[in-house]
Structure 1
Amino acid sequence: MAKLHYYIIFLFLITSSSCTSKSERLLRTREKVVQHEVKKRPFIQQENYYVSKVIDGDTFWVQNSRADKFKIRLIGIDAPESRNVFYKKKQPYGKESKEYLTNLIDKQYLRLEFDVDSLDQYGRTLAYAYLENNEMVNELLLKTGNAQILTITPNIKFEEKFIMAQRFAREQALGLWGLELSE
């Protein structure tokens, strides 16, 4: 009986020591993942980002102070396509939408704000962009009719503001909302 008792204690010590090492390894792995995520997203909300190139009416490239480049996709909006890319086809008012965004932000500094999800399915960084005068670019595109609402959960922080901006553009028949009247 004493041998069985020592055997049970021995098994307990072996399994408890292996559990401790497993939990320690798990903690170390989690710490590494968190550190990697912090390194992967070197965005600082107070930093200004230089716009180096506009792709279309809702996507552009920025560069930070360390010369890292990132592709930004504006949250909560969808601009018409300005060119044929993969399965997406050029759409009416796409060229005008890109031109408006280019005139608004190209070669300018922007402040970026992020929401819950930081990346989209294509690896682009999702953001709200602000001009130096604190006007939100996303909202301006909606208000001028150069984009329409495309809110995707969980990035819905400014959904109500965007609804009001789009409603204004539709009522005034601005941008792409004027196409229906002219055709």
Structure 2
Amino acid sequence: MHLLAFGTAGCDRPGASDPDGGDAPEESVCGPTVGTVAKVIDGDTIVLESGEKVRYLLVDTPEITNGKRECFGLEARDFNAEYVLGQEIRLTYDVECADAYGRLLAYVDAPDGEINSLLIARGYACVLDIPPNGEDRASEFMAMQRTAKDQKAGLWGMCGDVCGP
């Protein structure tokens, strides 16, 4: 896995989507707050029907693009696709809206749960903590990762210590 460089495009919290899923606007200052997933690129990146690419916050799955085939990458992509492909999702943004590649950075709620936390809890991904995004949830995600590692869930049972210390 590699570290991603993220851009500095700001996302004002008051304009971000409603985390309670209440009467959230269809659009925030960052981008859409709801959308339908048209394509799953890998375990942590999707494309909406509207064309926006979305990169999951606090999540890093093994690489399977650009000729790479890291351990458990295909399984992470397939798990992601099972939960989000063709589904209407809700996006919740944090401080920075997009990364250096123009992908929206968001927590993604699918009908069966938040995919960001599901990927970590079930051992399909490692925590990728790049402040200022995720500061309020990083410890929660690290705790889920420790539990998955202790239980040898997913990549932890197949690939060893892939996330480092």
TM-score normalised to structure 2 length: 0.74
Q: Residue 118 of structure 1 aligns with which residue?
A: 97
Within the candidate set 150, 155, 163, 2:128 is matched to: 150
1:61 aligns with 2:47: yes
- For 1:78-128, what per-residue CA distance to the aligned partner results, in whole angstroms no more than 9, with x for missing partners? 00012335xxx3211111110110111111111100000001011100000
C-alpha separation between the residues in 2 aligned to 1:144 and 1:122? 27
- Structure 2 gap ranges (5+): 1-26, 161-165
C-alpha separation between the residues in 2 aligned to 1:179 and 1:153? 29
Measured after TM superposition, the shift of residue 167 of structure 1 is 1.2
Moved over 6 A (4+): none
Q: Residue 51 of structure 1 aligns with which residue?
A: 37
Measured after TM superposition, the shift of residue 160 of structure 1 is 1.5
C-alpha separation between the residues in 2 aligned to 1:73 and 1:138? 10
Which structure is larger by alpha-carbon Rg, 1 or 2? 1
Taking the TM superposition and a 5 Å limit, the aligned residue runs for 1:52-91 are 52-63=38-49, 68-85=50-67, 89-91=68-70
Counterpart AA for 1:122: Y
CA contact (8 A) 2:30 2:93 kept: no
Q: Residue 148 of structure 2 aligns with which residue?
A: 169
- Structure 1 gap ranges (5+): 1-38
Greater relative contact order structure (CA < 8 Å, 6+ sep): 2
Q: Name the Cα RMSD after superposition.
A: 2.0
Query: Kindly tell me: are residues 159 and 40 of structure 1, through their superposed partners in 2, closer, same or farther at Cα, counting changes over 3 Å?
Result: closer
Greater share of helix: 1
- Secondary structure at 2:59 match in 1: strand
Measured after TM superposition, the shift of residue 69 of structure 1 is 1.8
- For 1:15-55, what per-residue CA distance to the aligned partner results, in whole angstroms no more than 9, with x for missing partners? xxxxxxxxxxxxxxxxxxxxxxxx9957343xx31000000
